[in-house]
Homo-oligomer: A and B are copies of this chain.
């Protein structure tokens, strides 16, 4: 098999794994995702284990997480009991999926927590400065949340013109 393709692939897996770590995503999960992204054909758990040199438990757990995130689909070959996994390939749809999940898992809980902070603080005069700061953070996070929600519902083609306007 083409050596430079192999080398390029493994460079890509490494890159994607590191990027994941930066953004709070398990490195192996990111690498499995990368692996599936650059394979047209669905891969089995055993193939993933072999390609990344990881244990069955690890492969299974991270494949499941990817399915939970909606980035990877289980797929079956007729006449085979074994399950295969296939990644979403379209980058914009991947982005939308990730945005929706992080919104739900991470941003919305922060909004709730900040609202709790304000509720706990109450309205005493000596809380005024604290309230003001937390309120402005909350407002920002809410706007970001709303925006992420809207953007991740759009077709890519509808977002591009806005970007052009912004970048122009």
Chain A interface category by residue count: 35 or more
Residue of chain B at shortest CB distance from A162: B166
Residue of chain B at shortest CB distance from A167: B150
Smallest CB separation, A26 vs chain B (Å): 11
Contact indicator A38/B5 (Cβ below 8 Å): no
Of B5, B9, B19, B139, which one neighbours A106 at CB under 8 angstroms?
A: B19
Across-interface contacts of A140 in B (CB, < 8 A): 91-92, 95
Does A116 sit at the interface, judged by CB under 8 A?
yes
Residue of chain B at shortest CB distance from A7: B120
Does A122 sit at the interface, judged by CB under 8 A?
yes
Does A60 sit at the interface, judged by CB under 8 A?
no
Which A1-27 residues have a C-beta within 8 angstroms of B? 2, 4-5, 7-9, 11-12, 15, 19, 21-24
Residue of chain B at shortest CB distance from A5: B127
Does A117 sit at the interface, judged by CB under 8 A?
yes
Of B4, B106, B118, B165, which one neighbours A121 at CB under 8 angstroms?
A: B4
